[in-house]
Amino acid sequence: MKYYIIAGEASGDLHGFNLMKSIFKEDVQAEIRFWGGDLMEQAGGTLVKHYRELAFMGFSEVIINLRTILGNIKKCKADIVAFQPDVLIFIDYPGFNMRIAKWAKKRGMKTHYYISPQIWAWKENRITAIKRDVDEMYIILPFEKEFYEKKHSYPVHFVGHPLIDAIKNRAVTTEVDFRRDNNLDDKPIIALLPGSRKQEISKMLEVMLSVVDDFKAYQFVIAGAPSQDFSFYKTFLKNENVHFISNKTYDLLSISHAALVTSGTATLETALFKVPEVVCYKGSWISYQIAKRVITLKYISLVNLIMDREVVKELIQEEFNTKNIKVELEKILDAEKRSRIFSDYAALEKQLGGEGASDKTAKLIVAAIK
């Protein structure tokens, strides 16, 4: 069978990698073409376009790069026609993927969506397009099932969260080796996860680093995104207590004492590694003004959304400043506060549905197209 997979971000590359491995187990003759990244390329198949060429953040950035985006959509359609897949599999990345799904459905192609667009956060009217254009939806967040099935009468498959498997199955490096190989001393580590796109890293990292001198008993380690070169981060490395490690975020989180994390999938990854965190977000002025008018959620982090209460502190836009970071970081370094966070993290993991998300999804996809 022939599979065409589209993932447009670093998190989609991770989930696509695990899904592809599971598809190859279910269908040993599988042919796969994909839009994704280095991890998916390791799994096999043919890479059409790397996600680093697709990553545009926020409303204003999308408008500025609209010609490039439209060109990518045209290229994708042409490549699908040439490949003639038995199924299209979309992984998140809704602005791009929903356009392709609409086009593909009109041509009678089978359309499967793994990791739902977050229409429960904004653009809920996209449910009309999903019902029309998506044959099967595989969801990874427990509250999404009620949203789709009870609120919108659209049947979905809850497969559990793939991060549980990604973390469990990773190659483990010992703490001693990791510190030695990356020139880290014995001080406890505060991890900095500023995101994966240049626009957000630039906005987030300088403010995160502004508290370094207030916590001299700790060392700060920047988790570099695989999509960015070291030269981009170099300008931020002005303090001897700040270190940089590229493309080893899981190894870093596994030995971190606390973390400052840009809102997104990384907030949930940090929680699953049982690292107390402060969630941070700051977008462009125009993007934020638009977002706060269309997004009605109480929280921005997946941790708080899943638990439906504040488990981790969120510093958003103007609240994301040196003073507040210092205050909130001091709180999560306190033993009593940390104990409560660990208890909440345990409850969070129970809600995520256990292991095997990629295998469950692959089995359902292969069975459906057969």
Given a contact cutoff of 8 angstroms between Cβ atoms, the answer to whether 117 and 98 are in contact is yes
Q: For residue range 336-350, what is the model confidence (pLDDT) as tens digits?
A: 999 999 999 999 999
Identify the pLDDT of residue 56: 53
Identify the pLDDT of residue 11: 83
Q: How far apart are CA 116 and CA 138, in angstroms?
A: 7
Q: How far apart are CA 238 and CA 257, in angstroms?
A: 22
Given a contact cutoff of 8 angstroms between Cβ atoms, the answer to whether 81 and 334 are in contact is no
Identify the pLDDT of residue 309: 95
- Where in the sequence of the chain do the CATH 3.40.50.2000 domains occur? 2-161+356-369, 168-351
Q: Indicate the pLDDT class of residue 198, thresholds 50, 70 and 90.
A: confident
Sheet strand arrangement including 2-7: 46-50, 31-36, 2-7, 87-91, 111-114, 136-139, 157-158
Identify the pLDDT of residue 67: 72
This prediction's pTM: 0.81
Q: What's the mean per-residue pLDDT of the chain?
A: 91
Identify the pLDDT of residue 112: 98
114 forms bridges with which residues in the sheet? 91, 138
Q: Indicate the pLDDT class of residue 265, thresholds 50, 70 and 90.
A: confident
Q: For residue range 269-278, what is the model confidence (pLDDT) as tens digits?
A: 999 999 999 9
Q: For residue range 168-187, what is the model confidence (pLDDT) as tens digits?
A: 888 888 999 999 999 999 99
pLDDT of 292 over the 80 cut: no
Identify the pLDDT of residue 86: 98
CATH of domain 168-351: 3.40.50.2000
Identify the pLDDT of residue 294: 54
Compute the chain's Rg from CA coordinates.
Answer: 20
Given a contact cutoff of 8 angstroms between Cβ atoms, the answer to whether 39 and 17 are in contact is yes
Q: Containing H/E element for 137? A: strand 136-139
Q: Indicate the pLDDT class of residue 64, thresholds 50, 70 and 90.
A: low
Q: For residue range 113-137, what is the model confidence (pLDDT) as tens digits?
A: 999 998 988 789 999 999 999 999 9
Give the right CATH number for 2-161+356-369 from 3.40.50.720, 3.20.20.70, 3.40.50.300, 3.40.50.2000: 3.40.50.2000
Residue with tokens 């030995």: 255
In the chain, what percentage of residues exceed pLDDT 90?
Answer: 76
Q: How far apart are CA 111 and CA 365, in angstroms?
A: 10
pLDDT of 252 over the 70 cut: yes
pLDDT of 358 over the 70 cut: yes
SS3 assignment, position 88: strand
Identify the pLDDT of residue 62: 54
Lowest mean pLDDT among 49-63, 155-169, 289-303: 49-63
Q: Containing H/E element for 7? A: strand 2-7
Sheet strand arrangement including 313-316: 242-246, 219-224, 189-193, 258-262, 277-281, 313-316
Stretch 190-196: mean pLDDT: 94
Q: Indicate the pLDDT class of residue 288, thresholds 50, 70 and 90.
A: low
In the chain, what percentage of residues exceed pLDDT 70?
Answer: 93
